[in-house]
Amino acid sequence: MSQDIADCVRRSLQRYFRDLDGETPHAIYDMVVKSVEKPMLEVVMKQAGGNQTVAAQMLGLSRSTLRKKLAEYNIS
């Protein structure tokens, strides 16, 4: 499964660079992290039934870190 995600990210980045059409890329790391992190948090929170403790365990994060990330992305 993780290889599928890696392949998807790889293809998306290749397409991103191809579509730049000569423009200089900026802040790629932040762009990728934000593109992946928010939907991941949304899906995991749904799978956890909104339970932050369960979601944090699923993600391998502390509950306080999860809470900060949820607030950052305005996810309830």
Q: What is the pLDDT of residue 1?
A: 65
For residues 43 and 5, is the Cβ–Cβ distance under 8 A?
A: no
Cα 38 to the center of its chain, rounded Å: 5
Q: Work out how many domains the chain is built from and give that number.
A: 1
Give the domain CATH number at 46. 1.10.10.60
User: What is residue 45's three-state secondary structure?
Assistant: helix
For residues 44 and 64, what is the distance between their CA atoms, to the nearest angstrom? 16
Q: Give me the pLDDT at residue 76, please.
A: 84
d(CA 76, CA 70): 7
Q: Could you report the average pLDDT of every consecutive run of 10 residues in the chain (76 residues)?
A: 86 94 92 94 98 98 98 94
Domain that holds residue 34: 2-72
Measured CA to CA, the distance from residue 72 to residue 66 in angstroms comes to: 10
Q: What integer pLDDT is reported at residue 19 of this predicted model? A: 94
CA distance 53 to 58: 9
